């Protein structure tokens, strides 16, 4: 099975062809838009592994944005003991669901 480890928006993800993955939100991108990532750290094809220093220049990944979705709520709770200070806050991060279309090799 072919897979790649790529850096997307500062985080590393293991990507398989024809699979879906949730990544941090792409602000200026529309649904159905196709993107190409070129920051590939590792690529495995039929058991042969290529490792970049730090990136592989000959491998690119073509993906398509499927949907934008909110994640589960994350609670931020701050407290200072014996001071009477408590602060509860929360937010829901936004993710983009992408489908890996293909690995492009030069």
**pLDDT values of the chain reduced to their tens digit, one per residue, 106 residues:** 899 999 999 999 999 999 999 999 999 899 999 999 999 999 999 999 999 999 999 999 999 999 999 999 999 999 999 999 999 999 999 999 999 999 999 8
Domain ranges in the chain are: 3-69+95-105
User: Measuring CA to CA, how many Å separate 11 from each of 32, 42, 85?
Assistant: 22, 14, 34
Strands 34-37, 59-70: parallel, antiparallel or unpaired by DSSP?
Answer: antiparallel
- Among 99, 96, 98, smallest CA distance to 24 is for 96
pLDDT of residue 106: 83
pLDDT of residue 9: 94
Q: Global pTM?
A: 0.83
């Amino acid at each position: 099975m072919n897979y790649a480890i790529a850096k997307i928006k500062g985080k590393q993800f293991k990507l398989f062809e024809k699979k879906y993955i949730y990544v941090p939100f792409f602000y200026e991108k529309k649904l159905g838009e196709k993107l190409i990532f070129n920051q590939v750290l590792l690529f495995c094809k039929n058991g042969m592994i290529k490792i970049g220093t730090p990136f592989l220049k000959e491998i690119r990944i073509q993906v398509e944005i499927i949907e934008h979705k909110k994640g589960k709520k994350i609670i931020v709770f701050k407290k200072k003991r014996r001071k009477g200070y408590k602060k509860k806050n929360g937010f829901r991060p936004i993710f983009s669901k992408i489908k890996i279309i293909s690995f492009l090799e030069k």
